[in-house]
Amino acid sequence: MTVGQNIKRAISEDQKAERQAMILSAARDMIDEAGFDGVTMSALAKRAGLAKGTLYLYVRSKEELFLLLFIEAMRTVVARFKGDVALGYSAAQIARCMTDHAQTTPLFLPMYARLVAVIESNVADEPLFAAKRQLLALSAEWAEHLAHVTRVSPDMAEPLATALMMSLQGAAQFDLSSQRDPTGLPEDIREAFSRYAFARSFEPSARLILEAVMTPPK
């Protein structure tokens, strides 16, 4: 089979970037429809109208593809945080915004939950380092804005950012396991599943942490 009906060869760098974007977009659609486990490189190739081998010209591994998707989601979250949260916001308001950003940015939570244990652990060194640099830069950007809006003392800025990031990561995990369809769950554990839904567990914790730092104990 020759190249797909409406697809030419990608020659220029722009065309290659466009093709990679098309692959990422197809992957997003597949995740929406079939979940993470439903994404196989064969199926993705079919969906994108390419041969399996072609995918590997644009992405070094399946996990690198996920990493690219996550960086994109993370970039969105950081941008929204910087845009939405301003100086003067209360701890509760900041917690509310963080919860909202994480929850409504597509793919952010499920990818964050899988970032370390699934994605990072099966990526070659070079792409991993490249991704780490971007993620660290984004984290730093986010932490800096957080320090600014909370007016926290300089020596508390890092612990605060770390505590919130860890809570976010943990909440993403719990959320993943609570995403399950409740029908078919045994009665005695159904409530436990819903108890760990993201907003319900993260927002109070974030508020707790933010309040602890924003209203210094006398």
DSSP letters for 124-162:
-HHHHHHHHHHHHHHHHHHHHHHHHHHT--HHHHHHHHH
Is 80:94 a contact under the CB 8 Å cutoff?
no
Q: Which is nearer to a copy of itself, 79 or 128 (CB)?
A: 128
Is 122:63 a contact under the CB 8 Å cutoff?
yes
- Packing angle between helix 62-84 and helix 125-150, nearest 10 degrees? 10
The entry of a copy of itself, DNA, none that residue 129 binds, CB within 5 to 8 Å by partner kind: a copy of itself
DSSP letters for 66-105:
HHHHHHHHHHHHHHHHHHH--TT--HHHHHHHHHHHHHHS
Smallest gap, in angstroms, from Cβ of residue 69 to a copy of itself?
15
Contacting a copy of itself within 35-54 (CB under 8 A): 37
The entry of DNA, a copy of itself, none that residue 153 binds, CB within 5 to 8 Å by partner kind: none
CA distance 69 to 28: 8
Is 201:171 a contact under the CB 8 Å cutoff?
yes
Smallest gap, in angstroms, from Cβ of residue 150 to a copy of itself?
13
User: String of b and e for 137-150 (b: at least 16 CB within 10 Å)?
Assistant: ebeeebbebbbebb
Smallest gap, in angstroms, from Cβ of residue 120 to DNA?
13
Interface segment toward a copy of itself; rule CB under 8 A; list 41-49, 57-65, 73-81, 155-163? 155-163
Interface segment toward a copy of itself; rule CB under 8 A; list 21-29, 41-49, 92-100, 181-189? 181-189
Q: Which is nearer to DNA, 7 or 156 (CB)?
A: 7
Interface segment toward a copy of itself; rule CB under 8 A; list 7-15, 40-48, 60-68, 107-115? 107-115
Interface residues with a copy of itself (CB under 8 A)?
37, 113-118, 120-121, 125, 129, 132-133, 136, 159-160, 162-163, 165-171, 173-174, 176-177, 184-186, 188-189, 192, 201-202, 204-205, 208-209, 211-213, 215, 217
